[in-house]
Amino acid sequence: MATVLVLARETPYPPNAGDRVVTHGFVRGLAERGHAVHVVAYGDESDRGRAESLADHAASVRLVARAKSDLPPRLRKLRNYATGRSDVMAMFGSPSMVAAARNGIRSLAPDAVLAQHPYIGQVFRDSGVRRAADEADATLVTNAHVVEFAVHRRYRTLASDLETRAELSLETPQLRREELAVYEASDRVLVLGSEDRAELVEAGVSTPIATQHVALDPAEYEVRDRRAARDDSDAADLLFFGSYGWFPNEDAVTTFAASAWPRIRAERPDARFVVAGRDAPDSVRELAARPGVEFVGEIPDLGRAVRDAAAVVAPLRIGGGTRLKVLESMAWGAPVVATAAGFEGVDARPGAEVAVADDWTGFAARAVELLDSPERRARLGRNARRRIEQVYALDGADAELEANLGLPSGT
């Protein structure tokens, strides 16, 4: 049995959002393979109940406070840029996390320390953390999750307002410099997709890079038998879900509503675009004023909404990492239509397991094909579910993680 110290941006419970799904799958899988997993995450007393819910898998969970700035966001950003810092890196930088990582390594002597994002991996740049890791012979591993500087660079090319573009012009080069320094301070780097590996290789990262699949439990994703469902022939809902705190999601739904949705409605006037998710800005909420669009906010039973929809759409223009919304929809046996960026990091066959389109005309055509054909929806959904069982199930993904962390094979 090995010991693993996991550093996370938040308590990975419940596993109902991107970072939480990834981290929870890794913690659970490693624990079920016989390893002792200890978690350090940002949080306060209001998160204590969620932390205690990890007791079945985590040997311990420690919550540490994030550094907070009293400055208004604009002034905070200007101060960070003036001092040569990435604002988002500074937001996640905390002496408390550095101290917790250093003390955790000294007390646990872990075989591996897994930072679940480069924002958290910046603790590896601390000399005290590296010295403690050397003394414990612990391997420092950063899971890139997504190459953030590449996402910011792409966002800058798509942003329409001058203020956002100006801000990203200041943020992106600083973020790139600090993020690459995190990878160089790590002993190993994990990426969730081949596109991110290529990005880091092109950037000259010298640290060994390994590709890692997300770990999902298919048993937790109830599948609807679309062949047996008599009313599936009438399904006309296209569903998008996600957290709008991540800016590519806002860009995805607003652009889809303007570019692809009118084409779909012209072919299928009965179609409905259901927009779900938390932290939606006005630009997303106001989409409900368009014909056939309904904004429903955060859905308590997301699985039911996915199963009831004719298809899930992933119209992202900004890629990187892997699309958890696509993987979870596949696990629920739902047909998915994605852009090339929405398909990034997904280990599946385009056309056979996920419908993929290169432009909005093609995207609308793929969506209409699914709306018009219950048989096509059923076939794509079955193939998608099978792919999840083949390459993303807990046993296989976490055995891969063991190897990527340099751990002995567990039970």
pLDDT band of 68, cuts 50, 70, 90: confident
pLDDT of residue 229: 47
Residue type, 269: P
Is 132 a residue whose pLDDT tops 50? yes
Domains of the chain (ranges; CATH) run 3-215+393-405 (3.40.50.2000), 218-391 (3.40.50.2000)
Mean pLDDT of the region 56-71: 93
Cβ(132)–Cβ(151) under 8 Å? no
Amino acid letter for position 285: R
What does the block give as tokens for 403? 């190897």
Looking at 159-260, list the stretches that DSSP marks H as alpha helix, in order from N- to C-terminal side.
Answer: 162-185, 194-202, 247-259
Ramachandran category for residue 34: left, alpha or beta (phi over 0 → left; psi -120 to 50 → alpha): left
Q: How many residues does the chain have?
A: 411
Q: Given this model, what pLDDT does residue 233 score?
A: 59
Q: CA 173 to CA 179: how far, in whole Å?
A: 10
Q: Residue 246's pLDDT is what?
A: 86
Task: Look at residue 230 in the predicted model and tell me its pLDDT.
Answer: 43
Q: What is the pLDDT of residue 253?
A: 97
Condensed to tens digits (0 to 9), the pLDDT of residues 305-339 reads 999 999 999 999 998 766 899 999 999 999 999 99
CB 5 within 8 A of CB 129: no
- Enter the pTM of the model: 0.93
User: Does the pLDDT value for residue 51 go beyond 50?
Assistant: yes
Tens of pLDDT along 350-393? 999 999 998 999 999 999 999 999 999 999 999 999 999 999 99
**Arithmetic mean of pLDDT, 259-270:** 98
Residues above pLDDT 90, as percent of the chain: 89
Cα 357 from Cα 224, distance rounded (Å): 25
Report the pLDDT value the prediction gives residue 232, as an integer from 0 to 100: 60
Contact 39, 61 (CB under 8 A): yes
pLDDT at 320: 74
**pLDDT at residue 400, rounded to an integer:** 97
- Asked if 98 contacts 130 with a C-beta cutoff of 8 angstroms, the reply is no
pLDDT score of 394:
92
What pLDDT digit, counting tens, does each position of 144-172 carry?
A: 999 999 999 999 999 888 999 999 999 99
Average pLDDT, the chain: 94
What is residue 234's predicted lDDT score, i.e. its pLDDT?
67
Among 66-80, 230-244, 286-300, the minimum mean pLDDT is found in 230-244
Residue-level pLDDT at 17: 80
Neighbour tally for 206: CB within 10 Å: 9
pLDDT of residue 356: 98
Average pLDDT of the residues in 200-225:
94
- Rounded to an integer, the average pLDDT of 58-71 is 93
